[in-house]
């Protein structure tokens, strides 16, 4: 078992930060979200979710995980290939199984993206059973 459930091990203000270099596969052109060779919004969103998961996961029992349920994002400035983007996820609120995080992306001191992200704690087996049922009902 890990540290315990999210309700008694995460705290408001707790955060996780990582820095990555923007590569061609992170660009709007590569991700088909535009045609420019700059950091694409889909990559920023994926990095936001990765930071949130990395922050929360170590606090959960093994049978639990989180799923993203809400994301509001602003992409504020371009970043060229080779730029070093720093992503930070910070716990803003915990209501039962719902965790709200603020997300920020910086290029040096410049804020290039921000948002609000929510994740909900779920039981792995029950969640996958629901997904399997939905797939079976649709012949997938």
Q: What is the CATH number of the domain that holds 94?
A: 3.10.129.10
Tell me what pLDDT residue 8 has: 61
What was the pLDDT predicted at 9?
A: 85
Q: Beta 98-107 vs 15-21: how paired, if at all?
A: unpaired
Q: Burial level of 45, CB count in 10 A (0-12/13-18/19+)?
A: buried
Report yes or no on 23 lying in a domain. Answer: yes
| Closest by Cα among 96, 113, 122, 138 to 48 | 113
In a domain, 130, yes or no: yes
CA distance 117 to 126: 23
For the whole model, what pTM was predicted?
Answer: 0.91
Does the pLDDT at position 19 exceed 50?
yes
For the chain, the domain total comes to 1
Write down the pLDDT at residue 6. 58
Average pLDDT of the segment spanning 29-45: 98
Task: Please indicate, yes or no, if residue 1 is contained in any of the structural domains.
Answer: no
Beta strands in the chain (DSSP E): 15-21, 64-75, 84-95, 98-107, 110-123
Residue 99: inside a domain: yes
Quick check: is 82 in a domain? yes
Q: Give the pLDDT of residue 59.
A: 93
- On whether residue 21 sits in a domain, the answer given is yes
Asked, for residue 98, whether it belongs to a domain, the answer is: yes
| Residue 121 in domain | yes
Q: Which domain holds residue 129?
A: 6-137
Mean pLDDT, range 60-70, rounded to an integer: 96
Instruction: Judge whether residue 106 has pLDDT over 50.
Output: yes
- SS3 category, 20: strand
Q: What pLDDT, on a 0 to 100 scale, did the predictor assign at position 1? A: 42
Considering Cα of 106, then 111, then 112, then 114, what sign does the dihedral take?
positive
Average pLDDT, whole number, for the chain? 94
Distance (Å, rounded) from C-alpha 106 to C-alpha 85? 6
89-106 in b/e burial notation, b at 16+ Cβ within 10 A?
Answer: bbbeebeeeebbbbbbbb
């Amino acid at each position: 078992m890990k540290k315990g459930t999210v309700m008694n091990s995460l705290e408001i203000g707790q955060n996780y930060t990582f820095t990555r270099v923007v590569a061609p596969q992170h660009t709007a052109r590569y991700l088909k979200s535009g045609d420019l060779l700059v950091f694409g919004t889909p990559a920023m969103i994926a990095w936001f979710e990765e930071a949130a998961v990395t922050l929360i996961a170590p606090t959960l029992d093994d049978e639990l995980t989180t799923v993203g349920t809400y994301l509001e994002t602003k992409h504020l400035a371009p970043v060229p290939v080779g730029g070093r983007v720093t992503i930070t996820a910070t716990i803003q609120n915990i209501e039962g199984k719902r965790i709200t995080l603020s997300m920020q992306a910086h290029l040096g001191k410049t804020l290039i993206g921000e948002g609000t992200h929510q994740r909900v704690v779920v039981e792995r087996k029950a969640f996958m059973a629901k997904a399997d049922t939905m797939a079976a009902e649709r012949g997938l």
